[in-house]
Amino acid sequence: MSDVSSNMNDARSEDQPDFAGRYNQFIAANEKKQMQLIPELVDQGSVGLEILMKFLHQGKENPQVIHGMVYQTLFAVEIPIVQDFLAANFSQGILSLRSDQGIDYTELRDLLVKQDFLEADRLTMQKLCEIAGAAATKRKWLYFSEVESIPIVDLRTINDLWLFNSQGKFGFSVQRELWLALNQEFPKLWEAINWKSGNNWTRYPQQFTWNLSAPKGHLPLSNQLRGVQVIKAIFAHPAWQREN
């Protein structure tokens, strides 16, 4: 992605004759095409950035995964007008960091927005243990029996942060969908998400892929050396029943 001038045009891009057509072209595209267009719009300067800002603002009440990518992109653009827009309209990000136990997910959000997936993965387990209680926090890992006590709201918040900041590639819900599609066969899931190859488990952390080139469902991690009970309990959690 090329550098964008720090001097935005004085006249708003929305007032330019071609803005409406280009904006409508962007919103009419499917999600895959929109993802491809985002870096091109940034490279185009003020008009492209105004398109992305308008699109993000229009989706404020009902954000989707594509809005997560737009937010991440704008977050990385070091131009005052863009940063002022984000500060004014998305000071807490695009997702509500809800928790039934008063857990603060700000640091997890910031790590994921910056795509620091290694540290975000570590913090995810820390937060899950924090929710589960003092014993889990002290031992630094979960018993499967503690998973059911995790509030729906909290598990959804953690999952959505992963989902919205990975172009829809990462999250417990993504792993669960793959598992269901593979007839709930964990050995097939490990192969599909590259946690295991043949008889060899992927070694932590050096053999895992901490960027978006990873297979779908690769992150966040769950320690399988203690068996499948924890991740199976996560997959069985009522958080995935969206009518709740």
Q: Is the pLDDT of residue 138 over 60?
A: yes
Based on the fold, state whether residues 84 and 202 are members of the same structural domain: no
Q: How confident is the model at residue 69 (pLDDT cuts 50, 70, 90)?
A: very high
Assess if residue 100 is contained within a domain: no
61: containing domain: 13-89
Q: How many domains does the chain have?
A: 2
C-beta separation of 130 from 146 below 8 A: no
Q: How confident is the model at residue 227 (pLDDT cuts 50, 70, 90)?
A: confident
Based on the fold, state whether residues 19 and 51 are members of the same structural domain: yes
Based on the fold, state whether residues 84 and 151 are members of the same structural domain: no
| Tokens 């924890």, located at residue | 230
The mean per-residue pLDDT over the stretch 57-68 comes to 97
Based on the fold, state whether residues 113 and 202 are members of the same structural domain: yes
Q: Is the pLDDT of residue 12 over 80?
A: no
Q: Is the pLDDT of residue 15 over 70?
A: no
Q: Is the pLDDT of residue 154 over 70?
A: yes
Based on the fold, state whether residues 196 and 110 are members of the same structural domain: yes
Cis peptide upstream of residue 215 (ω within 30 degrees of 0) = no
Based on the fold, state whether residues 153 and 32 are members of the same structural domain: no
Assess if residue 46 is contained within a domain: yes
Indicate the burial class of 228 (C-beta count within 10 angstroms; 0-12, 13-18, 19 or more): middle
Q: How confident is the model at residue 2 (pLDDT cuts 50, 70, 90)?
A: very low
Q: Is the pLDDT of residue 8 over 60?
A: no
Residue 143, domain CATH: 1.10.10.1770
State the Cα–Cα distance between residues 65 and 164, nearest whole angstrom: 5
Based on the fold, state whether residues 164 and 46 are members of the same structural domain: no
Sign of CA dihedral 207, 208, 212, 213: positive
Q: How confident is the model at residue 225 (pLDDT cuts 50, 70, 90)?
A: confident
What are 100-118's pLDDT values in tens digits? 999 999 999 999 999 999 9
**What pLDDT, on the 0 to 100 scale, is given for residue 106?**
97
Based on the fold, state whether residues 119 and 215 are members of the same structural domain: yes
**What pLDDT, on the 0 to 100 scale, is given for residue 17?**
61
Based on the fold, state whether residues 83 and 110 are members of the same structural domain: no
Q: How confident is the model at residue 120 (pLDDT cuts 50, 70, 90)?
A: very high
The mean per-residue pLDDT over the stretch 183-193 comes to 97
Q: How confident is the model at residue 215 (pLDDT cuts 50, 70, 90)?
A: very high
The mean per-residue pLDDT over the stretch 154-176 comes to 98
The mean per-residue pLDDT over the stretch 185-199 comes to 96
Based on the fold, state whether residues 161 and 80 are members of the same structural domain: no
Q: Point out the domain boundary residue: 89, 120, 145.
A: 89
Q: Is the pLDDT of residue 13 over 80?
A: no
**What pLDDT, on the 0 to 100 scale, is given for residue 18?**
82
Specify the range with the lowest mean pLDDT, choosing from 111-125, 163-177, 230-244. Answer: 230-244
Based on the fold, state whether residues 126 and 198 are members of the same structural domain: yes
Q: Point out the domain boundary residue: 63, 89, 115.
A: 89
Task: Find residue 185's DSSP bridge partners.
Answer: none
What are 31-47's pLDDT values in tens digits? 999 999 999 999 999 99
Q: What is the pTM of this model?
A: 0.91
